[in-house]
Structure 1
Amino acid sequence: MLDIRALVERVGPTLLRTVVSPEPTVCVGDVVIAEPDEPPTAAGGDLVLGVAVADREQAERLARACGAQGAAAVLLKPPISADDAVAAAAEEAGVALVEVRPGTGWAQLVWLIRAALGGTGIEEADARGGTGVGDLFRLADAVADVVDAPVTIEDAHSQVLAYSARQDLTDPARVSTIMGRKQPDEVLAKFRARGTFRQLSKGSSAIFVPAQQDGTLPRLVVPIRMGGELLGSMWAVVPGEVSEERSTAFADTAPLVALQLLRWRAVADAERRRSAEQVRLLLEGGEGWRVAVNELAVPNEAHRVVAIEMPSSAGPAEGHRLAMWEWITRGIGRRPLVTEIGTMLYALVPDRAGAGGWPDLREALMSHDAAPRPLIAVGNPVAVADLPQSRAQAEELVGLLRTGQLRDRVAVYENNWHLVVLSRMAGASTDAGVGSLGPLPVLREHDRTQGTEYLATLHAWLRHPGDPRQASRELRVHPNTFRYRMKRLTQLVDIDLESPNVRAALFVQLLADRWAQHG
């Protein structure tokens, strides 16, 4: 049995949103439709659909009546579902208030809710050992019979989800689409140039696309929508213009495909959540990591942890991280396992050549040039049992990227270990208060009050001993200016720059100063 929260999650945020959720939650029984101006005949745990509710007063009466009969929830559409008085009535009656998204058909919603309550969603797919994809293929076959043409079902990113078995009419574009599980970029470009995707984004009827000069056969395309959201599209390869009746029949199959796509997406989302939870166990270590290894079928080989953080200017972090990851990893074979912890996206990548391995992913990460640029750091390759160590290394590098102390497009731990050493040393020095020792406080105060740059000058001298030209280039001043500054600061403080111990101590102090400024 599902409670109202689980049902809303299963049906999905595309269709439903919880407005009021009383405690404790009630297990859902069935779906009933409230008749206009009549009290609902709801049993305990029923979902009551306010199909004919037209105003606030009706909605309040319905909420109170549902609460009195022990219903689990009342479902309403905006703007009534967003009315504060209606929400207050539902809360007082102890019944959940769920908003049905605009554009959602009530009949389709009933079908989907009953399918979820009947266990024909996630549980059925799990029992078959799949994720509901087989149903999409059977549906593609059924649609192909309706339109009398080969069909592909694609998501909103032109990824092929299913295709019909019949191949009596085909062309190179369809073959490449099915083989690559995605419409090729050059094919997409031609359809975009014709305005096909612009029409898909606006309308709901079938679109006829004539044959193209490169031999691409005509297409009949229909958008797949639910609750106002474009879920994907269906493409039929046709020999030429089709009758209005057949075109309408093709378009009429879209709502059924939309329902199946929502079910498929709910299953896929559930699988993704389960996988993410197991990956989280691996990254955190502890007793459950062996179970997670078995659940995920992680091979017994070295893996790296990739940590990705989006800049705060990127907007909603989660959406950007996941969208970026989908974009980066397309075409590299099996995508690495991922999870989100806090503000970070983590991926487990096998440290080997071949599809889905670290070299392929590194190339994809390096070539990703979208703005804003994410912060990407990679830990050392480790055994599966030591993944928390690789995660900690990646996180430490992200910290250096965040503060600008490291500027690599993809920061790899073995290439930047020396910066980690300096960072830790500077942090320990700051905590120990070493910055207040020796002549440095005098130079620091002189810089602050007189506008000099003695600390930066000394730092450049220590970084390039015996090479005033290189040191001056670092400061972007003339070598004579650099020499003059060094002479003045040695007159200001008594400092023995001939002593290696003094030079080492000064470098640690200056390093701690700079790390503290970045931190």
Structure 2
Amino acid sequence: MAAVQSVVDRVGPTLLRLLHTPADCPAVGDVVIAEPDGGQLAAGDLVLGVATSAPSEAVALIEACAARQVAAVLLKAPLAGKAAIRRTARSTGIALVEVNTATSWAQLVWLLRTVLDAITDESDEREGDPVASDLFRLADAAAAVVDAPVTIEDTNSRVLAYSSRQDLTDPARVSTIMGRRIPDDVLTRFRSRGVFRELSRGHQTIFVPGQRDGTLPRLIVPIRMGGELLGSMWAVVTGPVSDERAAAFADAAPVVALHLLRRRTQVDADRRASAELLRGLLDGTVAARTAVTELGLAAEPHRVVVIDTEGGRGTSDGEALRLSLLERIAQGMGTRQVATELRGLLYAVVPDGEWPALREALADLPARGKIATLRVAAGGAFDVARLAVSRAQAEEALSLLRSGVVAGEVVSFGEAWPQLALHRAATVSTPARVGELGPLDSLREHDSAHGTEYVSTLYEWLRHPGDPRSAARALRIHPNTLRYRVRKLLELSSLDLDQPDVRLALVVQLVALRWN
């Protein structure tokens, strides 16, 4: 984490000028590009007003950013210097940075990311964790060997480190550095060429020619240890590489593999510690203050989301889906993963404002179509001290998804309240033997003895009062057939459906019978 002043100083006065900074300015965590309404922002972001051109838009952006406690807003000159904009920055207590008019936003994002990574590199060394800094040094060393800019990526195509000279590349590499992973459209192109299939087979080096869209050639080396693929190194080259230089590039892979193994060990240890702390928070055995400090949870309402990946447990496809879920959950929610597994289910704690985006992302996962079932239920939004309540709500909503009472694959506790109310009523009615009262039992016996469907007909008739067509549609019969059945069951049972209390009592009985 770095101070806004430190970041601006490192970039230099040619490109950036700090116009205002409050005394309690948050430390910088990431660089994001925002729309005028603020978009999805997190505390500590450096927000680039790329689409902001009018003073009113800039004021709205600053106010939206202040509400999310971002570190600073960056606007181009002369917009940033407008009196109304500077006044808004001072009144909302947010840092304001002026960007030189001639500066390319894409280049600025890359430059800011480089500065932040360098500061993180220095911080890692001070804290005795040289893994991250060593990966950047190795990327620089590999770049010198192959004479081309290099990235080191994990098996999910996320960028772990990159060399200098990334400005001497193509738009695909710039997008990769900006987004910290290979963009989906670029991934698709490389996948169609069989690049990832070749990586999985363990070839020493892979050369990918340039493409018609301007994407430059790539020289790729898989990073393996003990037969396991840990990641890969990608060099952006101008053309075919000599065998000697390609071999020298590949020679760096075993050294990188050792560092990736060290990184995995560290990440696994952090994940286990976070998971244990989160379990205690969900059980109510860990103080909320401790959880907020250790897990990096913001002081705002959160939801517990429980995810069931039934059908993929214990399989490679299920593991791929679990990793995709963890990646989606971790995006934009701090540096520590706020998710854990309990009894085969994945539990996540997400800010209330992030739930709609997470819900949408869960519907479009790369590994989604490979397993039998994915069910997601979210509890209500509470402060951190009451997340155990949100967990109980999420689990209850998940039980309705599993039983089929609620249709679909994703639901929140608030959306399912009608089914929850009926289900709870049915649960209480069963031990009280409510279903044995009145003539309902005689109808059940008649259905069993004669193969009729009078009970289900009565249920749909009461669910669709005054709408026989809808009731018939639910039963998949003709409306005339429905009317005939109702006449017959009334003759058998002597029920008086004109009495409101009779109808209400029958609804309670039928719900208890159907949902238990």
Residue type matched to 1:238 in 2?
V
- 8 Å CA contact 1:221–1:235 kept in 2: the answer is yes
Shift of 1:425: 0.7
Residue type matched to 2:194 in 1?
G
2:507: which partner in 1?
507
Cα–Cα, structure 1 residues 310 and 287, in superposed 2: closer, same or farther, change >3 Å?
A: closer
Cα–Cα, structure 1 residues 512 and 130, in superposed 2: closer, same or farther, change >3 Å?
A: farther
1:268: which partner in 2?
267
Cα displacement string for residues 180-215 of structure 1 (whole angstroms, at most 9, x for unaligned residues): 111122322332333322222223322222333333
Q: State how many pairs are aligned.
A: 389
Cα–Cα, structure 1 residues 366 and 259, in superposed 2: closer, same or farther, change >3 Å?
A: same
Residue type matched to 1:276 in 2?
A
Cα–Cα, structure 1 residues 290 and 334, in superposed 2: closer, same or farther, change >3 Å?
A: closer
* Structure whose alpha-carbon radius of gyration is higher: 1
- 8 Å CA contact 1:309–1:321 kept in 2: the answer is no
Residue type matched to 1:340 in 2?
E
Cα–Cα, structure 1 residues 168 and 474, in superposed 2: closer, same or farther, change >3 Å?
A: closer
Residue type matched to 1:251 in 2?
A
- 8 Å CA contact 1:131–1:268 kept in 2: the answer is no
2:457: which partner in 1?
457
Whole-Å separation in 2 of the counterparts to 1:466 and 1:151 = 70
Q: Percent identity?
A: 56
- 8 Å CA contact 1:377–1:397 kept in 2: the answer is yes
- 8 Å CA contact 2:303–2:378 kept in 1: the answer is yes
Residue type matched to 1:195 in 2?
G
Whole-Å separation in 2 of the counterparts to 1:430 and 1:133 = 59
> Is 2:404 the partner of 1:407?
no
Whole-Å separation in 2 of the counterparts to 1:129 and 1:454 = 74
Cα displacement string for residues 400-455 of structure 1 (whole angstroms, at most 9, x for unaligned residues): 11011111332011111121111011011112121222111111111111101110
- 8 Å CA contact 1:156–1:233 kept in 2: the answer is yes
**Secondary structure, in 3 states, of the residue corresponding to 2:168?**
coil
**Secondary structure, in 3 states, of the residue corresponding to 1:435?**
helix
Whole-Å separation in 2 of the counterparts to 1:407 and 1:129 = 51
**What are structure 2's unaligned runs of at least 5 residues?**
1-122
Cα displacement string for residues 55-111 of structure 1 (whole angstroms, at most 9, x for unaligned residues): xxxxxxxxxxxxxxxxxxxxxxxxxxxxxxxxxxxxxxxxxxxxxxxxxxxxxxxxx
Whole-Å separation in 2 of the counterparts to 1:443 and 1:416 = 31
Shift of 1:346: 1.1
Residue type matched to 1:241 in 2?
P
TM-score, normalised with respect to structure 2: 0.70
- 8 Å CA contact 2:310–2:374 kept in 1: the answer is yes
Give the 5 Å matches for 1:46-445. 128=127, 132-167=131-166, 169-312=168-311, 316=315, 319=319, 322-326=322-326, 328-329=328-329, 337-352=338-353, 357-368=354-365, 370-371=369-370, 372-445=372-445
Whole-Å separation in 2 of the counterparts to 1:496 and 1:239 = 86
1:117: which partner in 2?
none
Residue type matched to 2:500 in 1?
P
**Secondary structure, in 3 states, of the residue corresponding to 2:408?**
coil
**Secondary structure, in 3 states, of the residue corresponding to 1:306?**
strand
Residue type matched to 2:470 in 1?
Q
Whole-Å separation in 2 of the counterparts to 1:129 and 1:503 = 72
**Secondary structure, in 3 states, of the residue corresponding to 1:158?**
coil
- 8 Å CA contact 1:332–1:361 kept in 2: the answer is no
Cα–Cα, structure 1 residues 131 and 491, in superposed 2: closer, same or farther, change >3 Å?
A: farther
TM-score, normalised with respect to structure 1: 0.70
Shift of 1:333: 6.8
Whole-Å separation in 2 of the counterparts to 1:329 and 1:370 = 19
- 8 Å CA contact 1:131–1:264 kept in 2: the answer is no
CA root-mean-square deviation: 2.5
2:467: which partner in 1?
467
